[in-house]
Structure 1
Amino acid sequence: MNSKNSTTWASYDSDSDKYFDDYSKLYFSNIHRQFIKFLPIQTGAKILDIGCGSGRDALSLARRGYQVTAVEPSNKMLALAQKKNNHKNITWTNDCLPYLLALNNNAYDFILISAVWMHIPPDERETSIKRISDLLKAGKHLAVTLRIGTPDTKRIMYPVSIEELLKQSSKFNLKPIYISRETKDSLSRKEIIWKKIVFEKE
């Protein structure tokens, strides 16, 4: 998902219909049920969905009354998301980590980064975390899902670990307040497990 290497998300362009259909089979309330209690209380709060993919999560959050900025680097995935999961509360943005330049100096009440971190090259992760922290308001929450397991050879992926993420996030005032147990893959891929982490910005 880095700006220097568009091939990172090339498969999402070439197979956008497949990925859209796969992700649309799942529901926010099931996939992210551990995150729901950390969502902002106030209606109209600003939420950032980094790597929004099909727009499934952005739509669910928008329907809850939040103002959602949905960021996606794949042009074709973004077009599908905007066409099929559009909502008046969603602003669709074509951009990518580590810099997210299109977001300028915006500040958000909640940030979701789900099934994205494995696409970030290790040498860009600290820059990415710093940028994410800068975009998050003090006292608010960042929710991350980590894909742990065999990489998909059709997509560019890098190893991830919760230890690395915790170490890097601690440098930028992000304190872990929830770490899940390992959970099975919702698409029944036996070689993959997930860890979910919520950070609070100090």
Structure 2
Amino acid sequence: MNGHKNMVNVAGSKGYAEKAQRFAADYESVTFEKVHNPVRGFYPGAPAKVLDIGAGTGRDAAAMAALGYQVDAVEPTAAMREQGDLHHTNTTINWIADSLPELALVRATGKQYDLILLTAVWMHLLEQERLPAMQHCAGLLARNGIMSMSLRHGPVPAERHMFDIPDEETIALAHTCGLQLLYQKSYKNDTLGRNDISWSYAVFRK
């Protein structure tokens, strides 16, 4: 399950393997605290079970593991998982080579999570993938579990498989899957300083 050679062919991961080092440098230049502080107050305390979907280099997974959380990190791109191990040598990250919308490996474990993180990942899903993805995420949440999402808005680079998805659509899908909206807010500031990119946060409870 943790093997770095496992390749998962996912359209949304297009461009990541080729530029893994560059993306890793970008991700690791921003702290877990800076990205999650707007919504940290909604997260359950350690040692809650956390599923970090689209974990990238494991920045958030490593930070949460260090805080005492039990973290599983889902990342389909082997090159990103390898970068994660290079950047987080002091933390053992439980990598799972899996992806949205199916999350087949994760679901096969039968585990349920107190917190699911979808940080800068939802924008990679095609319209027809979003409902099954939301259903599977909802199914992986424990009772009263929290799902925290950051949603990207702005122009999409030509070489990337990415979409600007309205918050309203995502919130409606979550509601359909039995998730209650606790918080939603838009932020103009992009953590990497891109003027044309903005983000919003949405937090739900099962």
TM-score bracket for the superposition, by shorter chain length: over 0.9
> Aligned AA for 2:57?
S
* TM-score, normalised by the number of residues in structure 1: 0.92
Q: Structure 2: 5+ residue runs without aligned partners?
A: 1-6
Which residue in 2 is equivalent to 1:31? 35
Which residue in 2 is equivalent to 1:65? 68
> Aligned AA for 1:70?
A
Residues 58 and 93 in structure 2, CA contact (< 8 A), matched pair in contact too: no
Which of 148, 151, 155 is residue 146 of structure 1 equivalent to? Answer: 151
| Distance of 2:188 and 2:36 partners within structure 1 | 11
Aligned residues: 198
Which residue in 2 is equivalent to 1:52? 55
> Aligned AA for 1:113?
L
Which residue in 1 is equivalent to 2:115? 110
| Distance of 2:204 and 2:90 partners within structure 1 | 27
| Distance of 2:11 and 2:199 partners within structure 1 | 24
SS at match of 1:47: strand
SS at match of 2:199: strand
SS at match of 1:181: strand
Deviation at 1:22, TM superposition (A): 0.6
* TM-score, normalised by the number of residues in structure 2: 0.91
| Distance of 1:112 and 1:4 partners within structure 2 | 20
Gap change, CA 1:58 and 1:87, over 3 Å in 2: farther
Q: Counterparts in 2 of 1:157-196, with a 5 A limit?
A: 157-196=162-201
Which of 26, 40, 45 is residue 44 of structure 2 equivalent to? Answer: 40
Deviation at 1:37, TM superposition (A): 1.0
Residues 66 and 89 in structure 1, CA contact (< 8 A), matched pair in contact too: no
Q: Structure 1: 5+ residue runs without aligned partners?
A: none
Residues 14 and 161 in structure 2, CA contact (< 8 A), matched pair in contact too: no
Deviation at 1:10, TM superposition (A): 3.0
Moved over 2 A (4+): 3-8, 86-90
Deviation at 1:31, TM superposition (A): 1.2
Residue 199 (1) aligns with residue 183 (2): no
SS at match of 1:14: coil
Residues 62 and 68 in structure 1, CA contact (< 8 A), matched pair in contact too: yes
Identity of aligned residues (%): 33
> Aligned AA for 1:27?
T
| Distance of 2:176 and 2:100 partners within structure 1 | 18
Q: Deviations over 1:83-122 (max 9, x none)?
A: 3225556311111001111112210010000101110111
